[in-house]
Amino acid sequence: MERMHRTEGGVSGEGAILSDRRGAPTESARLAHVRVVLVRTTHPGNIGAAARAMKTMGLARLVLVEPRRFPDPQADAMATGADDILAAATVCATLDEALAGTTLQIALTARRRELSHLALDAREAAQTAVSECERGQEVAVVFGTEMSGLANEEVIKCQRVAHIATNPQYSSLNLAAAVQVMAYELRVAAHGPAAASNERYEAATFEEIEGFYAHLERNLVRSGFLDPAHPRRLLERMRRLFGRTRLEKEEINLLRGMLSAWDGEGDRE
């Protein structure tokens, strides 16, 4: 994963996506913990337009997963003054890489999913995200491709699903327009009073939760409860079950300790 900077020769890698932004929960400090993730964007103009939408609302962290063309002159043209957002954008090979270090991931989708996590409207999702940022945690707001949005296996990696209320007779939103709506809601939420402090837990990171799911899958296969050839959507249902709880670090340690005791697995991959 590389943070992309423009040079005369092209693009150079410098640093990682993770940051340790701590400090007073001002509007800018809250939004500094939010990364906007665009997955497999096909048209570079939409990347530039999304960057412009972000900058108008005070968001600065753009992450691109397998963009078809980037950097690209069309992205520059559509950014209209948000070139700094493009220059600092991070390009990732996988969604897992883009979500590394986050404790809350929100998938934007127009479709209702049969096996989905807790669904929120855009305003509720923004308030939830800002509340997480109040505690200094990292948040990812994830958007899919222009034509088909996020795949089910991408949505299931997120802890929450958000919908933008649109005209039911014509619900098609351009990618940049969807980013603009969500960015606006995040700004409104960040501009409001600070959320009540909640220090009761330290949220598990994306990597810690994914490690637990991998350990759980190995345990289920070894026990014979899960047949990999006929999974019956079991793992998706398990993700939905645990996704509702917002797992804590201590809970992850407890669950993995139980799994290790049951299967004799001493490693913590």
Q: How far apart are the first and last CA of the chain?
A: 20
Per-residue pLDDT of the chain (269 residues; tens, 9 = 90+): 544 444 333 334 433 444 443 444 588 889 999 999 999 999 999 999 999 999 999 999 999 999 999 999 999 999 999 999 999 999 999 999 999 999 999 999 987 755 567 789 999 999 999 999 999 999 999 999 999 999 999 999 999 999 999 998 998 899 999 999 999 999 999 998 765 555 557 899 999 999 999 999 999 999 999 999 988 889 988 998 898 888 999 999 999 999 999 887 555 45
**218/229 Cα distance (integer angstroms):** 14
Both structure tokens of 142: 């994830």
Among 148, 127, 129, 147, smallest CA distance to 138 is for 129
For residue 7, what pLDDT is reported?
A: 39
Q: Which domains does the chain have, with CATH numbers?
A: 2-191 (3.40.1280.10), 206-263 (1.10.8.590)
Q: Looking at beta carbons, which pairs linking 12-19 to residues 24 or more positions away fall under 8 Å? A: 17/63, 17/90, 17/92, 17/98, 17/100, 17/101, 18/100, 18/101, 18/138, 19/138
Element at 222 (helix H, strand E): helix 206-223
